[in-house]
Amino acid sequence: MASIQDVARAAGVSISTVSYALSGKRTIAAATRDRIDAAVAELGYRPNAGARMLAGSRTNLLALSAPLHADTYAPAHMTFVLAIAEAAREFDYDTVLLVQDEAVNGLRRMVSSKLVDGIVLLDVDRDDTRVPLVRELDIPVTLVGIPGDTSGLTCVDLDFESAARLSVERLVSQGHRQIGLIGHPSELYERGSNFPIRFRDAFAAAAVEFGVDTLFVMPEQDPASVRSALTELCASLPDLTALVLNCNEPVHTMLLELLRKEGRSVPGDLSIVSACSSFPTDQLDPPLDVIPLPALVTGRRGVELTMSQLSGSTDPVVELVPPTYIAKGSTATVT
């Protein structure tokens, strides 16, 4: 069955333009409407009955379930929140932000009172308590994140597994054979947050595949903990020549300051890759090679997939955004 994405692709327009043309909510240029109509006819696209019924009584509100946990790093969290809110506005939608740590009841209230047309979930855990609920709800839902069981769900996220492998491949190609991995605080892994676990496990698998010695450490966001983590890495990996940082910005800053105080240069003494970072690493001293966390891309796609469901597409899908490596001069070949 053709989806609204298929229509948009065939007509050479955005999903939002197709949505506006089909709903009549905005004036669309005649030539553009003709292309959309032709694509609809050619593909045999038909919004399902539930979507057509919903279109007549929409609230133009999306619920964004973005719970604030004790271990939530607010700057990265809000990057996704803003990306989703801005993308929703392009569809003439406002966003209702739900931040309660216990998120199930808030979602249930939103849906039972018919306050929102769809839901986007952020900060997804492997065994997320919201997943059984959204499987029961008769409302469009998209997860920005990948739970352990994706059956029947629509999800989008960075391909953290490929990002981990890419970081190892880059350093191995430069001759590095002992690579340390600095992760997030342990609470995030204990809670079952999906993204750091996916990166950690894929990194370990890639290290085994390429015959690399590695150690994984989880410092807290304070200088003493970062110093202890680096000491542990150096003691366990006496020929350590590279680090991969899959952690928040404060740990990056503390680590680089610690290396400066020890008289160790980057990349002369230690090559460093910042993996899956939501902040610009060219503002660090020195700037770091980075595999960015594309909040704007995945956040926007989360909204687009929700709008696609509102327009009649009901097939679940899991989309993984390929990672990109951006060199900033913080890695070097081992001599």
Say if 332 falls within a structural domain: no
Say what the pTM is: 0.81
Question: Considering the chain, what percentage of its residues have pLDDT values greater than 70?
Answer: 93
For the chain, how long is the longest CA-to-CA vector? 69
139/80 same-domain check: yes
pLDDT on residue 102: 66
Residues 282, 168 within the same domain: yes
What local confidence, expressed as pLDDT, does residue 63 receive? 92
**Length of the chain in residues, anyone?**
335
The pLDDT of 126-140, averaged and rounded, is 89
Residue with tokens 């379930």: 65
174 and 287 share a domain? yes
239-271 per-position pLDDT tens digit: 999 999 999 999 999 999 999 999 999 999 999
Mean pLDDT across the stretch 204-223? 97
Is position 99 within any domain? yes
Q: What is the pLDDT of residues 83-117, one digit of tens each?
A: 999 999 999 999 998 987 667 887 888 777 788 99
Distances (CA, A) of 239 to 40, 116, 174: 61, 56, 15
Give mean pLDDT, residues 113-124: 90
| Residues 14 and 87 placed together within one structural domain of the fold | no
Do the domain assignments include residue 104? yes
Amino acid at 25: K
Please state, in angstroms and rounded to a whole number, the distance separating the CA atoms of residues 16 and 4.
9
Q: List Cα–Cα distances, 261 to 79, 180, 227, 268, in angstroms.
A: 32, 20, 11, 15
Lowest mean pLDDT among 48-62, 139-153, 189-203: 48-62
Inter-helix orientation angle 249-261/223-236, to 10°:
70
If we measure between CA atoms, which residue out of 232, 177, 228 comes closest to residue 207? 177
8 A C-beta contact, residue 226 and residue 233: no
Does residue 165 share a domain with residue 313?
no
What's the pLDDT at 54? 46
238 and 187 together in one domain = yes
Q: Give 23 or 209, the one with higher predicted confidence.
A: 209
The domain of 128 spans 58-158+295-321
Confidence grade of residue 23 (pLDDT, cut at 50, 70, 90): low
Q: How many CB atoms lie within 10 A of CB 208?
A: 11
Q: What is the pLDDT of residue 185?
A: 95
Helices and strands, number each (H, E), in the chain: 13, 11
Does 149 score more than 50 pLDDT?
A: yes
Residue 53 lies in a domain: no
| Res 204 pLDDT > 80 | yes
- On whether residue 301 sits in a domain, the answer given is yes
Instruction: Calculate the average pLDDT of the chain.
Output: 90
Residues 231-238: what's their mean pLDDT?
Answer: 97
Please list, in sequence order, all residues whose beta carbon lies within 8 angstroms of the beta carbon of residue 283, skipping any fewer than 6 positions away.
Answer: none
**Whether residues 211 and 89 fall in one domain:** no
CB 215: neighbour CB atoms within 10 A? 18
User: Do 198 and 254 share a domain, yes or no?
Assistant: yes
* Cα–Cα dist 111/132, whole Å: 14
Where does the pLDDT of residue 47 fall: very low under 50, low under 70, confident under 90, or very high at 90 and above? low
- Domain identity same for 123 and 169: no
Judged on CB neighbours under 10 Å (0-12, 13-18, 19+), 70 is exposed
For the purposes of burial, counting CB atoms within 10 Å of the CB of 283, is it exposed (0-12), middle (13-18) or buried (19 or more)? exposed
- Beta strands across the sheet bearing 118-121: 94-98, 61-65, 118-121, 141-144, 155-158, 318-321
Per-residue model confidence as pLDDT tens digits over 182-195 = 999 999 999 999 99
Q: How many domains does the chain have?
A: 3
pLDDT at res. 108: 81
